[in-house]
Each structure stands twice: as structure tokens, then as C-alpha cells.
Structure 1
Amino acid sequence: MRSPTRARVVYERNPLAEVIFQIRYPINLAIERDLPTNFQKALIDSYPLLDVKRGVQLQLKVAGAIDDQPFEPRPSRVYDFTDIERTSRVSLSCDSLSFSTTKYKDWDHFRNALGEILAAFFSNYDQSLFTRVGLRYVNAIKPAELGLSTENPAEIMNPELVAPLTGFTERVFEHQALTIIEIPDGKISVRMALTKDEQGESYIFDTDAFHDEMFQANPDDVLARLEQYHLQHSDLFRWAIGDAVHAALGPT
């Protein structure tokens, strides 16, 4: 699936609430056992703050084994490396690596930051087998902040997305719809939501492109895959918003 290809733009009024990359892999005992000092050293200029959290890792046991015991969760460490503003975070655990930011500028900046993170990971850990990779974009369209009327949802978002709201938007307190679509080398989940609070209405357009079958990769392979996912996201977002929203966001 590819929605119609549109010219690439950067919006002056960026609607992105958060962009998230994550890659998962089989449990890496080196990350679980040792402090990630070299990984931290490679990233400390960009992400100098560190928080350590405790996650939960389930231990699976074979029924009938000599040491067969009830299931017990096993504590696992998650290392969060963040920038000074705490708007960007790198999270490392024994089975996943992620990078998220609430201050997305454009794809080139995000890709360069991610390239640095992947270089630090692959240079410190012998990992080439992965179980999932994903790139997620969470957009929040707030008509009131854009100076747009909220009377007709079809003027804010593509009519195909908001058809269930037609005619009674003012009475809808919350709306969500989820669709998962096959794309080349993966899938993309598309979540469309309408929420209301004291600040007004927000149209959430949340897309997550991912591959969830086991695969082998190096940093270049990962970035090449994400490049294609980024194009999918860009085309899908432009298809999803109305022309009035596109103009109000200030494309350049």
C-alpha cells in the first residue's frame, strides 16, 4: 500500500507530538549483566542524563522439567539516556533499543541522531538478529489552534477517516478507529482518534510502520528500512489531512 505520493514538505507549525523508533532482539545477556559504560560514553555529549528503571522479564520454563516451578517475573534494567531538555530519550534494555523525541524537526535530523545511536549500539554489542523494528509518528491536529472551524470533520481530516462522525460531531465525546495495512516489507497500523477536553478538540493521527518477523540486519539495513517507512508515513499523513489543515500548518 502507498497512498498517493505528494511533494515533501516541512511544516512551520509541526503537528508531531512524538516520533518513536524501536528495535527488538532476543535477550542479550551482555546488556543484562554489564553496565553500558561504553554505550553511554559514545552518546554522552548528546544525551548526558541517565535514569535507570526496573522492567519485568518473564522466564519461560518447560513443563515437566526437573526444576519446574511456578512462573516468576525476573527484574530487568532499562537505561534511559536523555538530553538536557528531556525532549529526546534513548532507552536500552536486554531485549530492545528505542529512540523517541517530542521535538521532531525533520527527517534528516532524526535520521542523523538515530544513525549515531545505532553506531553506538552495534559497535558495543554483538547483535545481528532482530525480532521487530518499527517507526511511529503521533500527530495531534488541534483545529482551534490553527484557526479552523470544528463543525465539519471532513474539512479537517480526509472524509474517509471521519465518516463515522459526520452529522453528530458535537455529541461525540471520544472516537477511535484502528486499521492495520500490509505494506512492502511489513505492516502499518493507522489509528485515528478524536478527543475533547477543556482545550478543545484534537484529532490524533497515529501511524506505526513495522516489521515483526525475525530478520538479520546491520546499521545500514535498519536505516534503509526506516527510510522507506518514513516515506510511507509522509504520504499517509498528507492524504489524511484536509487542504485547510495543510495550508494552516505552513508547508515550506
Structure 2
Amino acid sequence: MLFSDRPRSHYPNSPAHEVICQLRYPTILTINAVEPADFQEAIREDFPQYARRQDVTPPKVSGLGGPNPRVEQQPAVTNYHFLSADGRWKLNLTKDFIALSTLRYTGWEDFARHLDKPLAAFIKLYKPAYFQRVGIRYINFFSRQKLGLEDVPWAELFAPAYTGVLREPDVREDQVASCGCDLVLKLDSSCQAKIHAGPGRIQNNAPGAQQDPEVKFIFDMDLSMNGQTPCTLAAAALETLHGHGTRVFEGAVTDRLRDAMSVF
């Protein structure tokens, strides 16, 4: 089964590496042209650190298939960064989206609380027509070493849909160089989930960084609602996505893994 109706659980040994919420809206040019001083003042108590970055956008190619295709360089996009005092929460604002992310996810209620004030301030100051895409992405790294499951095969920890060939009796994990599952699921009439799942090593791209040799199980779940979501329904849309995410996550893990994640 891909979905589970188990009650939502809080796992002390949460595998969440990063959680990102992004809301996209029709382009607001003012944001790219004028520093958001009023927005900063509204959120400065919770996000006192500020930085601005110019993000390079990919060139636009037009006229493909014709005699004179053109490559047009696109202007840089201003990305405003607001960080919490402890650096654990980051808010991004551009002409096309507002996003909140954290590397210290402790639960949905805490995440939603950190989003409430900046989202309300953004809607009040910039008055977006609607949200074109509302999304939540959960990037989970499961470490058997951390969970005390070093000798347990992945096939006993995750549902068959995500372990595939690893469940075959004549296949050992150390024989499989690469094994991943990528799928896109419709969750209801307006929501979908894009999922990548499978074992792999996590690369640290920082210069001179020591690499982690442990093979972890990656469960990357990107949930989204597309269309024209009214600003007044943004919070409800996020709650809907979170609910879908709970059903998908609980459907992916086995009771043995739940027990390991529940240990204090």
C-alpha cells in the first residue's frame, strides 16, 4: 500500500533533513526592484539577519525548429534572505515566490507557526492576486546507524513500492550499485506528490569536507497544489498537503522502522 490512514505520529528520531515550503504567485516586479524594507520590519523580530543575492536564471531559447533559433539571456533575479537569530530558519522572497525552510524540523505545528507571521505580512504588503503553486517538500535521510538498525535490510524497513529489487531473495544489498524509485502521484483533483526514494550516499559539496561513507535511505517527497489558490485559503492548502504527506510517509515505512524512530 502506498498510503496509510494511521494516526499522525511524532518521531523523536525524525529522519527529516530539510523541510521547505514555497508559495509561487504571479510576478510582482516591485519585489525585484525595491528592497523590501516594510516586509523586513514586519518580520525582523523573528528573522533579524538579512542578505541579498542575485540569482542567475537560465537563458531562454526561442525559435527552436526554425531557421534562426535565438538564445536570450535573462536578467538576474533578486533573492532576499531573512534568517532567524540561530540560523535554523530561512525565509526567501523573490518576485515569483516566498519560501520558508529549516534544517531543524521538529513538527508541522512549529513549522506552520514560523510561517504564519511572514506569510500574513507578505499578503498584506504585496497583495498577490493568488498563489499559482503551493508546495511542501520533505527531504528525509534515514540512517540505520543512528537508528540502531545496522544489520537490518532496507526491504524490512520500507514498503515494497520503494524497495523493488532489494526484496528479491537472490539479491544482496551490496550487489546493487544503484536502486531508486521515482514517481508522480495524483493525490486528489488539485494535489500531487513527486517522490524519489532509494538508498544512496549523501554528498557534502563544501570545499575539503569529509564525506559520510554510510549508505542512507533517501525519501524525498515534494507535495504541491496547482491552480489559483486564493490568499485566504493558503493556510488551508498547506494543511491539506501536510495531511497527504502524512498518509504517504506512513505508507512508506514499516512498523519496525516506526519503532526505531520512536525511541528517545
Matching of residues 121-200 of structure 1 within 5 Å: 121-166=122-167, 167-184=171-188, 185-196=190-201, 198-200=212-214
> Aligned pair count?
245
Q: TM-score when scaled to structure 1?
A: 0.89
- Superimposed CA distance per residue, residues 172-213 of structure 1 (whole angstroms, 9 cap, x where no aligned partner): 234322110001222111110211374422111111111233
Offset at 1:26? 2.1
- Superimposed CA distance per residue, residues 20-73 of structure 1 (whole angstroms, 9 cap, x where no aligned partner): 10111222111112110011111111111112110135787998xxxxx96122
Task: Provide the alpha-carbon RMSD of the alignment.
Answer: 2.4
Where does residue 49 of structure 1 map in the other structure? 49
Offset at 1:231? 1.0
Which structure's residues are more often strand, by fraction? Answer: 1
Where does residue 87 of structure 2 map in the other structure? 86
- The whole-number CA distance in structure 2 between the counterparts of 1:28 and 1:152 is 50
Where does residue 7 of structure 1 map in the other structure? 7
Note closer, same or farther for the CA distance 1:198–1:172 as it changes in structure 2 (3 Å cut).
farther
Task: Answer yes or no: is the 8 Å Cα contact 1:79–1:93 preserved in 2.
Answer: yes
Task: Answer yes or no: is the 8 Å Cα contact 2:21–2:136 preserved in 1.
Answer: yes
Note closer, same or farther for the CA distance 1:35–1:83 as it changes in structure 2 (3 Å cut).
same
- The whole-number CA distance in structure 2 between the counterparts of 1:14 and 1:174 is 25
Q: TM-score when scaled to structure 2?
A: 0.85
Q: Secondary structure at the match of 2:180?
A: strand
Where does residue 210 of structure 1 map in the other structure? 224
Offset at 1:162? 0.3
Q: Secondary structure at the match of 2:38?
A: helix
Amino acid of the residue matched to residue 180 of structure 1?
Answer: V
Q: Secondary structure at the match of 2:179?
A: strand
Percent identity (aligned) = 25
- The whole-number CA distance in structure 2 between the counterparts of 1:129 and 1:94 is 14
- The whole-number CA distance in structure 1 between the counterparts of 2:26 and 2:194 is 24
- The whole-number CA distance in structure 2 between the counterparts of 1:109 and 1:45 is 17
Matching of residues 97-116 of structure 1 within 5 Å: 97-116=98-117
Which blocks of at least 5 consecutive residues in structure 1 are unaligned?
64-68
Amino acid of the residue matched to residue 193 of structure 1?
Answer: G
- The whole-number CA distance in structure 2 between the counterparts of 1:170 and 1:48 is 47
- Superimposed CA distance per residue, residues 143-177 of structure 1 (whole angstroms, 9 cap, x where no aligned partner): 11111134522212112310222322112234322
